[in-house]
């Protein structure tokens, strides 16, 4: 099939960007979306034009590196599918496809379709962990975890940190991402000692980055390639209220405390 | 080249404990004075960096992705082995050790493998404490599954995302130390040079992949945790960014490269669909617990799978290896698939595929049970192929997956270059000529959490290091070399893309140095690769500049290294005149097509030493089997 592409090109973080048109010929329905872009890039280079920069690595839907806004939807039209796992059979001959980077103030564009998602790392560094220094652990089966809790924790832990939730949110909120980690750890017995501190620290860090607030549009859940549920946001909010009420968290200057 | 493995004496089971007691310690107050550079943030790098920082060392950690959480370890699906014997099925440290040594076809160091089995149990404890949501039984205990090459259930897993969950555990530990200021993290940085001062590893030169800036980092020891080099074949199950550059550039500085030809071809991957293909997708080995592998008995049978009656199917693994059946080790299962396809009984486009059929398990256990075990893998298969594996069998074919070879290290995980330590897939140490499933995650975390943090202290305590910082001339020189190479790429201005050369190399490697190798083929490759390389340096086209984010420029450096390294792999494969594990030389096989080792001449590690402008020199580390008897591997 033949496709018309409209792609965001931006030479660098400080440079102005613009949409540019390209034509992709001979696209096979079995190609992945990124393989289609590989072919376009190959052609561009032969013509002496710099290839389109886009982030990707595993191409298996697990590393969370790929990040394209396809026709205005993060990761494109297919539910629960990352860009790298999207195949061209989801499109038809003659389609026009617009491809843009994640749009969010907290995720500045570095080049073309590549953005800076380091705020996510800083949110984790602020408290998204259980403090268990190497060598301090007891026998694994000494901690029993009811299967339903463990399953729910795993559902939340499946987040790949791609940022689609932020890109989908009209407020560019990082609530789904943050809540998935708060829920994953908070649902497990091992996560209890730091539960209050964790939610306070992470929410504080989220506010320091330039993410917007959450007004429960739930667009994030629809866009999430791992189907992380907005129920996690409810869990976060409960934890936040509990922690604030218990007033254990004079918001810590030392990030990573807890 | 100093290749003393420094294996401690005494009974196998006591070696590590005795060694721990003998290791020199760095006092808490002095740890702060040492700076360790960790390149890589996968399971091995993240666990090492976090543990070293917890101990009090200053740590800098590097990765080329935009976040340490995206290292290739994230993609591991099936699970991690540990000798916990929670299933009460007779597992033990000894059994895990023996399975691993045997699985590796007796080409690994006994003492290292035994230690790996010993610390395996601590890994599970550590990960559970961090909140890794391993699968559980209804009683709240941890669940296990079985994996290839073992007759016990010792594999711990988190759905089909074990690597993801283990890496997130290590990543969170790392981020915790970053938050405390104990680790400085450099994401989107690529190490291009190892810097030696007075023969010791004292730092690296890395390029900031966003600004293009070349930067020097000095330290007291360097740890490479840079993963495997399966992408030498272009198509593999590895992430697109995986490469050999860090390891290869250390090799060019004098680090020995061990067994480069030992690569693992995984039997269950989705077959190639076209020449635009950019990578291959693994279907976890765990699927072989419930899936049965077959091809039609008749040659060129073009009926759909459901139209081939039971009596006309060849369940060839069950037939040839009755005691392990579909769970035969990877090298054996891969070769058997290739044989069936070479024999004209392959299925799907081009006849390069075999069926992995779940219908009898679905009948026995119900679709829901299968969905619970493998739901996400089935969905992934359907997304990629457009076929529903609950209805029709999967089609699979072997693909390059893992590299057992790597930089040579001693028992302390230090290379022959003092101060240069190598952990995870990047070293050669524990898997011999074939790795068993679920053992890479175990090794990466064993190295990073439980071995390196102790052994590196011994080095630092004894090394008497002079003060070196990034203004040292050795760093300037390395920066200049790295920049000069980038400028050369940009100035060639030829006609072909970097990728086209990578594909061409991959093709040669797959055909001549893949699942089956022989003298003629390897010699052909050794003639062909230098030709591709020569053309690369004359005709590659890299656009843009070195002062910006430039993905083709990054790739050019990696492919340039693969183009040299591929030759080393073929050289090593040619010189190892035996078949063992994943290294199958068609000249050396038994009458029924099994690998034939030559223990007399090849019970050793082959270690290659780089020579500037001359052929590399092959050294040997003899493997002494003191505690196990060399046996012919049999899974029949
Ligand atoms: C699809 C798939 C499934 C697998 N499933 C399993 C499984 O179920 N069980 C199992 O045991 N094993 C499995 N494996 C193998 C296992 O995942 C890997 O061997 C292991 O994760 C490697 O970990 P690592 O830490 O050594 O390297 P990686 O995780 O590959 O990390 C390498 C790190 O080095 C960095 N790096 C590399 N080069 C440079 C450079 N020049 N400069 C800066 N940074 C650099 C990268 O950024 C990255 O952070 C699987 C592998 C694949 C491909
Ligand atoms: S490239 Fe890894 S999730 Fe898409």
Residues 6+ apart with CB under 8 A from B236: B230, B242, B279, B280, B399, B400, B401
Nearest to A144 among B66, B141, B384 (CB): B141
- Count of structural domains within chain A: 2
Residue B273 contacts A where some CB pair is shorter than 8 Å: yes
Contacts of A202 in chain B (CB under 8 A): none
As for ligand 2, residues whose beta carbon falls within 6 Å of it are A 56-59, 61-66, 82-84
Report the complex ipTM: 0.96
**pLDDT reading at A256 higher than 50:** no
Contacts of B495 in chain A (CB under 8 A): 46
**pLDDT reading at B617 higher than 90:** yes
B46 CB less than 6 Å from ligand 1?
A: no
Nearest CA to ligand 1 atom 33: B40
**pLDDT of B376:** 82
Model pLDDT for residues B298-311, shown as the tens digit of each residue: 999 999 999 999 99
- Domain boundary pick from A110, A142, A172: A110
Give yes or no for a contact between B560 and B249, defined as CB atoms under 8 angstroms apart: no
Q: pLDDT: is B128 or B380 the higher one? A: B128
Q: What is the CATH number of domain B265-399?
A: 3.90.700.10
Contacts of B383 in chain A (CB under 8 A): 61, 78, 81, 85, 87
Residues 6+ apart with CB under 8 A from B369: none
Same domain, A32 and A98: yes
* Average pLDDT along chain A: 95
Whether residues B54 and A134 touch (CB distance < 8 A) is answered with yes
**pLDDT of B428:** 97
Atom of ligand 2 nearest to the CA of A84: 4
Give me the percent of chain A exceeding a pLDDT of 90.
94
**pLDDT reading at A70 higher than 70:** yes
All structural domains of chain B with their residue ranges: 265-399, 474-622
B424 CB less than 6 Å from ligand 1?
A: yes
**pLDDT reading at A235 higher than 80:** yes
* Cα B71 to averaged position of ligand 1 atoms, centre (Å): 6
Q: How many CB atoms lie within 10 A of CB A42?
A: 15
Model pLDDT for residues B44-58, shown as the tens digit of each residue: 999 999 999 999 999
DSSP symbol at B290: T
Q: pLDDT: is B130 or B349 the higher one? A: B130
Nearest to A212 by CA among A257, A161, A176, A242: A176
Whether residues A188 and B133 touch (CB distance < 8 A) is answered with yes
**pLDDT of B636:** 79
B161 CB less than 6 Å from ligand 1?
A: no
Atom of ligand 2 nearest to the CA of A58: 2
**pLDDT reading at B391 higher than 80:** yes
Architecture label for domain B474-622:
Up-down Bundle (1.20)
**pLDDT reading at A247 higher than 80:** no
Model pLDDT for residues B470-509, shown as the tens digit of each residue: 999 999 999 999 999 999 999 999 999 999 999 999 999 9
**pLDDT of A255:** 42
* Cα B457 to averaged position of ligand 2 atoms, centre (Å): 37
Model pLDDT for residues B197-210, shown as the tens digit of each residue: 999 999 999 999 99
Work out the average pLDDT over A186-213. Answer: 97
Contacts of B164 in chain A (CB under 8 A): 62, 158, 160
Residue B382 contacts A where some CB pair is shorter than 8 Å: no
* Length of chain B measured in residues: 636
**pLDDT reading at B570 higher than 80:** yes
Work out the average pLDDT over B2-16. Answer: 97
The count of C-alpha atoms lying within 13 angstroms of the C-alpha of B33, restricted to the half-sphere facing its C-beta, is 12
* Confidence band of B633 (pLDDT split at 50, 70, 90): confident
Nearest to A45 by CA among B469, B553, B112, B226: B553
Same domain, A135 and A106: no
Contacts of B449 in chain A (CB under 8 A): 134-135
**pLDDT of B279:** 94
**pLDDT of B160:** 86
Residue B239 contacts A where some CB pair is shorter than 8 Å: yes
Whether residues A140 and B125 touch (CB distance < 8 A) is answered with yes
Model pLDDT for residues B147-188, shown as the tens digit of each residue: 877 889 999 999 889 999 999 999 999 999 999 999 999 999
Same domain, A247 and A124: yes
- The ligand with the least distance to the CA atom of A86 is 2
Whether residues B278 and A32 touch (CB distance < 8 A) is answered with yes
How far, in whole angstroms, is CA B567 from its chain's centroid? 19
**pLDDT of B512:** 97
Which pair of structure tokens corresponds to residue B22? Answer: 């003998």
Contacts of A85 in chain B (CB under 8 A): 380, 383-384
DSSP B501-551: HHHHHHHHHHHHHSSSB-HHHHHHHHHHHHHHHHHHHHHB---S-TTS--H
Same domain, A98 and A155: no
Whether residues A35 and B278 touch (CB distance < 8 A) is answered with yes
CATH code of the domain in which A143 resides: 1.10.1060.10
For residue A238, give its domain range: 117-254
Same domain, A125 and A240: yes
* Confidence band of A258 (pLDDT split at 50, 70, 90): very low
CATH code of the domain in which A43 resides: 3.10.20.30
Model pLDDT for residues B395-404, shown as the tens digit of each residue: 999 999 999 9
Rounded CA separation B41/B49 (Å): 8
**pLDDT of A253:** 45
Nearest-by-CA chain B residue for A10:
B549
DSSP symbol at A26: S
**pLDDT of A254:** 44
* Average pLDDT along chain B: 96
Instruction: Outline where B315-366 has alpha helix (H).
Output: 316-320, 330-342, 359-365
* Cα B333 to averaged position of ligand 2 atoms, centre (Å): 28
Nearest CA to ligand 2 atom 3: A61
Cα of A63 to nearest chain B Cα, Å: 5
Counting Cβ atoms within 10 Å, is residue B534 exposed (0-12), middle (13-18) or buried (19+)?
exposed
Residue pointed to by tokens 């090298």? B331
Same domain, A223 and A126: yes
Same domain, A141 and A241: yes
Same domain, A128 and A239: yes
- Domain boundary pick from A110, A129, A149: A110
Model pLDDT for residues A8-31, shown as the tens digit of each residue: 999 999 999 999 999 999 999 999
Give me the percent of chain A exceeding a pLDDT of 70.
95
Same domain, A121 and A35: no
Kindly report the backbone phi and psi dihedral angles of residue B19, in degrees, each rounded to the nearest multiple of 5, phi listed first.
-60, -45
Interface of B with A in 445-464 (CB under 8 A): 449-450, 453
Whether residues B172 and A145 touch (CB distance < 8 A) is answered with no
* Confidence band of A2 (pLDDT split at 50, 70, 90): very high
**pLDDT reading at B312 higher than 50:** yes
Same domain, A125 and A239: yes
Nearest to A132 among B130, B136, B453 (CB): B130
**pLDDT reading at B393 higher than 50:** yes
Nearest to B433 by CA among B106, B85, B57: B106
Give me the percent of chain B exceeding a pLDDT of 90.
92
* Cα B229 to averaged position of ligand 2 atoms, centre (Å): 19
Whether residues B179 and A256 touch (CB distance < 8 A) is answered with yes
Cα of A162 to nearest chain B Cα, Å: 10
B219 CB less than 6 Å from ligand 1?
A: no
- Domain boundary pick from A54, A89, A110: A110
Contacts of A144 in chain B (CB under 8 A): 139-141
Whether residues A50 and B140 touch (CB distance < 8 A) is answered with no
**pLDDT reading at A248 higher than 60:** no
* Cα B589 to averaged position of ligand 1 atoms, centre (Å): 32
**pLDDT of A257:** 36
Region of A138 (left: φ > 0; alpha: ψ -120 to 50; beta: rest) is beta
Rounded CA separation B188/B41 (Å): 11
Residue B96 contacts A where some CB pair is shorter than 8 Å: no
Same domain, A37 and A147: no
Cα of A218 to nearest chain B Cα, Å: 24
Model pLDDT for residues A103-117, shown as the tens digit of each residue: 999 999 999 999 999
E strands, B256-365, are: 257-258, 263-269, 292-296, 313-314, 354-357
Q: pLDDT: is B302 or A6 the higher one? A: A6
B100 CB less than 6 Å from ligand 1?
A: no
Give yes or no for a contact between B41 and B49, defined as CB atoms under 8 angstroms apart: yes
Same fold, B265-399 and B474-622: no
Active site members of B: 330
Rounded CA separation A20/A7 (Å): 5
* Confidence band of B284 (pLDDT split at 50, 70, 90): confident
Regarding pTM above 0.95, the answer is yes
């Amino acid at each position: 099939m033949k496709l018309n592409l409209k792609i965001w090109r931006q030479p660098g973080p400080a440079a102005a960007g613009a949409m540019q048109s390209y034509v992709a010929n001979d696209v096979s329905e079995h190609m992945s979306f990124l393989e289609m872009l590989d072919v376009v890039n190959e052609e561009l280079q032969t013509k002496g034009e710099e290839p389109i920069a886009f982030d990707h690595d595993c191409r298996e839907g697990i590393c969370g590196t790929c990040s394209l806004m396809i026709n205005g939807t993060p990761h494109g039209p297919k539910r629960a599918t990352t860009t790298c796992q999207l195949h061209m059979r989801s499109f038809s001959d003659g389609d026009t496809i617009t491809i843009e980077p994640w749009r969010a103030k907290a995720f500045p564009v570095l080049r073309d379709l590549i953005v800076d998602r380091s705020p996510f790392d800083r949110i984790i560094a602020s408290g998204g962990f259980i403090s268990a220094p190497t060598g301090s652990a007891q026998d694994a089966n000494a901690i029993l975890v009811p299967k339903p809790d463990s399953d729910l924790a795993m559902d939340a832990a499946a987040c790949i940190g791609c940022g689609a939730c932020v890109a989908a949110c009209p407020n560019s909120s990082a609530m789904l991402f943050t809540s998935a980690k708060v829920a994953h750890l908070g649902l497990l017995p091992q996560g209890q000692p730091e539960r209050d501190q964790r939610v306070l620290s992470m929410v504080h860090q989220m506010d320091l980055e330039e993410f917007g607030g959450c007004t429960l549009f739930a667009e994030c859940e629809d866009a999430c390639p791992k189907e992380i549920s907005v129920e996690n946001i409810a869990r976060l909010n409960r934890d936040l209220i509990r922690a604030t009420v218990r007033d254990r968290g004079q918001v810590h200057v030392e990030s990573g405390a807890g | 080249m100093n290749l003393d493995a420094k294996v401690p004496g005494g009974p196998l089971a006591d070696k590590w404990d005795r060694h721990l007691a003998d290791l020199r310690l760095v006092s808490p107050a002095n740890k702060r004075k040492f700076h360790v550079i960790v390149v890589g943030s996968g399971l091995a790098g993240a666990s090492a960096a976090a543990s070293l920082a917890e101990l009090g060392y200053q740590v800098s950690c590097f990765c080329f992705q935009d976040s340490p959480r995206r290292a290739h370890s994230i993609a591991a699906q099936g699970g991690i082995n540990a000798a916990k014997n929670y299933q009460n099925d007779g597992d033990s440290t000894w059994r895990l050790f023996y399975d691993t040594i045997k699985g590796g076809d007796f080409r690994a160091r006994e003492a290292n493998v035994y230690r790996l089995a010993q610390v395996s149990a601590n890994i599970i404890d550590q990960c559970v404490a961090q909140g890794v949501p391993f699968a559980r039984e209804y009683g709240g205990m941890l669940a296990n599954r079985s994996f290839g090459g073992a007759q016990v259930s010792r594999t711990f897993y988190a759905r089909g995302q074990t690597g993801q969950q283990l890496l997130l555990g290590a990543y969170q530990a790392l981020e915790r130390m970053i938050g405390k200021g104990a680790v400085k993290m450099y994401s989107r940085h690529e190490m291009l040079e190892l810097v030696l001062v007075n023969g010791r590893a004292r730092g690296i030169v890395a390029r900031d992949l966003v600004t293009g800036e070349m930067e020097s980092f000095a330290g007291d020891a360097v740890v490479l945790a840079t993963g495997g080099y399966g992408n030498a074949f272009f198509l593999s199950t590895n992430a697109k960014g995986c490469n050999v550059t860090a390891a290869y550039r250390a090799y060019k500085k004098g680090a020995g490269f061990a067994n480069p030809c030992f690569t693992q071809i995984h039997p269950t991957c989705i077959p190639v669909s076209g020449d635009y293909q950019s990578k291959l997708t693994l279907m976890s080995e765990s699927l072989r617990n419930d899936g049965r592998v077959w091809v039609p008995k008749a040659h060129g049978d073009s009926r759909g799978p459901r139209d081939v009656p039971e009596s006309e199917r060849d369940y060839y693994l069950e037939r040839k290896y009755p005691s392990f059946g579909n769970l035969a080790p990877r090298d054996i299962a891969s070769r058997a698939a290739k044989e069936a396809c070479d024999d004209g009984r392959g299925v799907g486009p081009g006849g390069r595929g075999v069926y992995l059929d779940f219908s009898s398990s679905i009948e026995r256990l119900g679709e829901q049970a299968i969905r619970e075990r493998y739901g996400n893998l089935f969905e992934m298969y359907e997304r990629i192929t457009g076929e529903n594996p609950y209805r029709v069998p999967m089609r699979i074919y072997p693909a390059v997956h893992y590299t057992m070879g790597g930089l040579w290290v001693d028992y302390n995980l230090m290379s022959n270059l003092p101060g240069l330590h190598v952990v995870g897939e990047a070293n050669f140490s524990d898997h011999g000529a074939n790795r068993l499933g679920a053992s890479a995650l175990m090794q990466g975390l064993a190295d990073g959490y439980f071995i390196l943090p102790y052994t590196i202290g011994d080095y630092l305590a004894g090394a008497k290091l002079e003060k070196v910082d990034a203004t040292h001339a050795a760093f300037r020189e390395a920066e200049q070399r790295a920049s000069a190479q980038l400028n050369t790429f940009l100035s060639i201005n030829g006609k072909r893309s970097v990728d086209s050369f990578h594909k061409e190399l991959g093709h040669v490697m797959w055909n001549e140095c893949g699942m089956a190798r022989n003298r003629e083929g390897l010699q052909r490759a050794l003639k062909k690769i230098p030709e591709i390389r020569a053309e690369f340096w004359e005709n590659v086209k890299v656009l843009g500049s070195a002062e910006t984010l430039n993905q083709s420029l990054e790739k050019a450096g990696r492919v340039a290294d693969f183009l040299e390294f591929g030759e080393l792999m073929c050289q090593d494969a040619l010189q190892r005149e035996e078949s063992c594990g994943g290294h199958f030389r068609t000249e050396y096989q038994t009458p029924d097509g099994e690998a034939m080792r030559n223990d007399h001449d090849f019970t050793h590690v082959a270690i290659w030493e780089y020579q500037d402008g001359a052929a590399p020199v092959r050294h040997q580390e003899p493997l002494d089997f003191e505690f196990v008897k060399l046996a012919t591997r049999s899974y029949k």
